[in-house]
Amino acid sequence: MNKKPRSLIRIIIPVVLTLVTIALIVWPMLAGGQYVVLDPKGPIGASQRDLIVISTILCAVVIVPVLILSAVIVWRYRDKPDNKSAYEPNWAHSTKAEAIWWTIPIIIIGLLAIVTIRYTYDLEPSKPMASEKAPVTIQVSSLDWKWLFMYPEQGIATVNTLNIPADRPVKFELTADSPMNSFWIPQLGGQIYTMSGMAMTLYLQADHEGQYWGSGANFTGEHFAQMRFDVNATSEEDFDKWVNEVKQQSQPLTQEMYKTLAEPGTSNVAYYSSFPEGLFQDIVTKYVVDGQSAHSKHGEASGAKEITTQDVDKSAN
């Protein structure tokens, strides 16, 4: 029964597999890929990274011993004529043992639940960030298949490129003039859906100047893969300079042009020196029936705003 080469193969296979796995994880880091989620550049992303690490460790505390235990049990009790370990075909119950393994998962999940609940409130996307600086507001609308960014305080707009001042909270207000998408800048923090008929709020901040990228994370049809955009976090001065440049060098976005832009199709990066007043609110309320929003209940607890026609009148920017 005990042929040497076969048992050798049985050892080689797992060893090779382990090495391949490790190589796989290390290789992309050398080859230029980047674990953006684990390499955050802002406080929200950093908390989420911490949470990912904490939850991984908590889970690993149970599963690593269990994985080892499984291997040991399978090895030890394999059916070999010369296997001397105990064999008890009728041993099928032990209150003590079962109590132990009901308790372990309960404790671990309990701990994880506490951590999760704390972070869920802390990281609620619409919660304003603690900062001495006032947030910049940027209105985001996902279109088929491009992103429109409007800067109400600056009066400019861009397509498929986003500039933000570093080290200052950014308040994103988000909606969609397309099927639901999801706005995601992995290095700054987690995503939130953009939905037509409602306005969501997401606070993010970049701690450092630099170039990041964002993308749409929820499938929206044919050219969904094209919905990537650059995020430039610059110093306050550079940001102002950039705003001025856009103001001087670009054309305004008119209502007509928006209509064309919103039609299905991809788009290059574009800059606009101004945009129609209340465009964002118009998009949100596009489908509102008689001042009633489509989404009656959900979103109330968060920063999701149901903007009604009255709000639109008030919000002239």
Binding site for Cu ion (CB under 5 A): 195, 198, 295
168 vs 305, which CB is nearer to other proteins?
305
Q: Which does 266 bind (CB under 5 to 8 A by kind): Cu ion, other proteins, none?
A: none
- Site track 65-104 with other proteins (rule: CB under 8 A), x = hit: -xx-xx--xx--xxx---x-xxxxxxxxx---xx--xx-x
Q: Which does 25 bind (CB under 5 to 8 A by kind): other proteins, Cu ion, none?
A: other proteins
Q: How far apart are CA 272 and CA 247, in angstroms?
A: 7
Q: Which does 152 bind (CB under 5 to 8 A by kind): other proteins, Cu ion, none?
A: none
243 vs 304, which CB is nearer to Cu ion?
304
Q: How far is the CB of 198 from Cu ion (least distance, A)?
A: 4
Q: Which does 245 bind (CB under 5 to 8 A by kind): Cu ion, other proteins, none?
A: none
Q: How far is the CB of 278 from other proteins (least distance, A)?
A: 20
Q: How far apart are CA 293 and CA 198, in angstroms?
A: 8
* Residue among 147, 149, 172, 184 that touches other proteins (CB under 8 A): 184
Q: How far is the CB of 247 from other proteins (least distance, A)?
A: 30
Q: Return the structure tokens found at 81.
A: 């004529």
Q: How far apart are CA 33 and CA 27, in angstroms?
A: 9
Q: Which does 68 bind (CB under 5 to 8 A by kind): Cu ion, other proteins, none?
A: none
Q: Counting contacts by CB under 8 A, is residue 22 touching other proteins?
A: no
Q: How far is the CB of 310 from other proteins (least distance, A)?
A: 19
Q: Which of 134, 141, 153, 138 is nearest to 240 (CA)?
A: 153
H or E stretch including 193?
strand 189-194
Q: How far is the CB of 223 from other proteins (least distance, A)?
A: 6
Q: Are 155 and 138 in contact (CB under 8 A)?
A: no
Q: Which of 85, 303, 270, 310 is nearest to 193 (CA)?
A: 303
Other beta carbons less than 10 A from residue 317's beta carbon? 15
Q: How far apart are CA 54 and CA 239, in angstroms?
A: 36
153 vs 294, which CB is nearer to other proteins?
294
Q: Which of 253, 176, 265 is nearest to 216 (CA)?
A: 176
Whole-angstrom CA distances from 275 to 152, 164, 280 are 9, 18, 10
* Residue among 125, 165, 169, 278 that touches other proteins (CB under 8 A): 125
203 vs 272, which CB is nearer to other proteins?
203
DSSP code string of 218-258 = S--STTGGG-EEEEEEE-HHHHHHHHHHHHHHSBPPPHHHH
Q: Tell which positions 205-264 bind other proteins, by CB under 8 A.
A: 213, 215-225
Which region among 187-195, 234-242, 246-254, 271-279 touches other proteins (by CB under 8 A)? 187-195
Q: How far apart are the two ends of the chain, measured CA to CA in Å?
A: 83
Q: Return the structure tokens found at 265.
A: 């199709």
Which region among 120-128, 165-173, 246-254, 268-276 touches other proteins (by CB under 8 A)? 120-128
Q: Tell which positions 30-59 bind other proteins, by CB under 8 A.
A: 31-38, 45, 47-48, 51-52, 55-56, 59
